[in-house]
């Protein structure tokens, strides 16, 4: 059972697994109507606090502090001011924490603490929830909380009024991972009496458990292949393409299994999609759409479906509010949000160029490829090319360091993005000539 040992040796997987009984307990108590709405908020908040302390240790204060400050801003500012100030504070705080990681890795040349890495991951998810909530308030989708702090109510009344916000920002099923859950969906689930009934819960979680089992078995097999072969430092010519593809496959399998585990924890607590949708409640978007990701022949589709809830969040936060170069601004912000490591900056900007090329290439190809055999050949060729470009980007983002990035760029793997870059330049020139 090597897959099981490797899976639960991962710290986040261990803590997510430990949270499952409490998620099931919360769902059961909601079904039974065993405690009040306020008690539900407190249960989720207390669980988040306990999980943060257990997983992050003393670094948990780096998550608690911005959560408290975000609630203070939400409760004191006017609706039209909320998003600007919460966004600036949250991204400044997260950037300072990421700079601490840069200092440890690149200046001290020391491996960062595992607990600190978990904290940074949780902080990135907190940024999603804070900005999602502030946008909802700014757009009038959520009732404004301004004036709570300025009112003359007692401290206990202030805390009770702000409790839903504290609970949302730190609720334990989404603290260490999982799809972005909007505040409206969170509130509807907590205040509603519906839950995931035991029989449905059993089959849903069993199916996800089988998916994780299959992915982890594949992960072990691919790990052995990658471990037995050479790396980017020792590979030669076309051998580097195989090394890149298998290593990226290992990264993808790891992401898929963790996303399904995170999704399962949300479902166990009653925040999943199986319960149907109330009127006005936002749709649940899972992060892992493996079928689409592995069969698409378009880089733009892969970009929209990879970590879906984050892609939608970036679209809403950056893309829809950008007047010039929205695509590049979105990917540049994604690099900032991820920590601005050299490999991440290169990888995300490369991804933006590849998506832009993807739009032009497929628009041009769809205009003159008519026959069925040619379409099949074109789709197969672009599928293989898309998977290799994604593998290239994934390695750039994951290796992060300049030395490893240099090895990747100097290998034969750079041919695949270069082909798309050349086609992009030719098609842009053709487009201007036609105009």
Catalytic residue among 338, 341, 362, 413: 338
Residue 271 neighbours by CB under 8 Å, 6+ apart: 173, 174, 181, 185, 186, 189, 284
Catalytic residue flag (residue 338) = yes
Nearest alpha-carbon partner for 399 in 288, 218, 244: 244
Determine the Cα–Cα distance for residues 183 and 165; give it in Å rounded to an integer.
8
Catalytic residue among 297, 307, 341, 362: 307
Determine the Cα–Cα distance for residues 85 and 388; give it in Å rounded to an integer.
41
Would you please indicate which residues are annotated as catalytic (active-site) residues?
307, 338
């Amino acid at each position: 059972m090597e897959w099981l040992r490797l899976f639960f040796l991962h710290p986040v997987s261990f803590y997510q697994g430990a949270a499952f009984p409490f998620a099931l307990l919360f769902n059961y108590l909601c079904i039974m109507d065993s405690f009040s709405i306020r008690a539900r908020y407190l249960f989720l908040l207390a669980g988040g606090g306990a999980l943060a302390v257990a997983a992050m240790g003393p670094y948990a204060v780096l998550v608690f502090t911005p959560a408290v400050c975000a609630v203070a801003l939400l409760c004191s500012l006017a609706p039209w001011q909320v998003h600007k100030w919460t966004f600036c504070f949250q991204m400044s705080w997260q950037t300072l924490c990421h700079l601490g990681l840069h200092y440890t890795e690149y200046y001290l040349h020391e491996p960062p603490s595992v607990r600190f890495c978990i904290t940074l991951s949780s902080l990135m998810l907190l940024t999603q929830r804070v900005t999602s909530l502030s946008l909802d308030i700014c757009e009038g989708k959520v009732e404004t909380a301004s004036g709570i702090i300025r009112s003359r109510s007692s401290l206990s009344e202030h805390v009770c009024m702000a409790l839903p916000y504290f609970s949302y920002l730190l609720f334990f099923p989404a603290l260490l991972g999982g799809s972005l859950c909007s505040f409206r969906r969170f509130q509807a689930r907590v205040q509603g009496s519906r839950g995931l009934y035991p029989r449905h819960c059993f089959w849903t979680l069993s199916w996800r458990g089988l998916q994780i089992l299959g992915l982890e078995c594949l992960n072990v097999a691919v790990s052995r292949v990658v471990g037995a072969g050479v790396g980017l430092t020792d590979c030669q010519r076309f051998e580097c393409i195989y090394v890149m593809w298998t290593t990226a496959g290992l990264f993808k399998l790891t992401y898929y299994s963790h996303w399904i585990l995170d999704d399962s924890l949300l479902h166990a607590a009653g925040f999943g999609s199986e319960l149907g949708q109330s009127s006005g409640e936002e749709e649940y978007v899972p992060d892992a759409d493996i079928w689409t990701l592995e069969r698409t022949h378009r880089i733009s589709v892969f970009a929209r479906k990879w970590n879906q809830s984050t892609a939608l969040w970036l679209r809403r936060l950056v893309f829809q509010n950008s007047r010039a170069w929205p695509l590049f601004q979105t990917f540049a912000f994604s690099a900032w949000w991820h920590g601005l490591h050299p490999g991440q900056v290169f990888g995300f900007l490369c991804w933006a160029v590849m998506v832009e090329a993807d739009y032009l290439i497929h628009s041009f190809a769809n205009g003159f490829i008519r026959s069925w055999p040619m379409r099949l050949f074109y789709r197969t060729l672009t599928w293989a090319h898309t998977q290799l470009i994604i593998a290239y980007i994934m390695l750039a983002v994951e290796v992060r360091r300049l030395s490893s990035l240099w090895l990747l760029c100097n290998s034969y793997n750079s041919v695949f993005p270069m082909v798309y870059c050349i086609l992009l330049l030719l098609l842009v020139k053709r487009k201007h000539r036609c105009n």
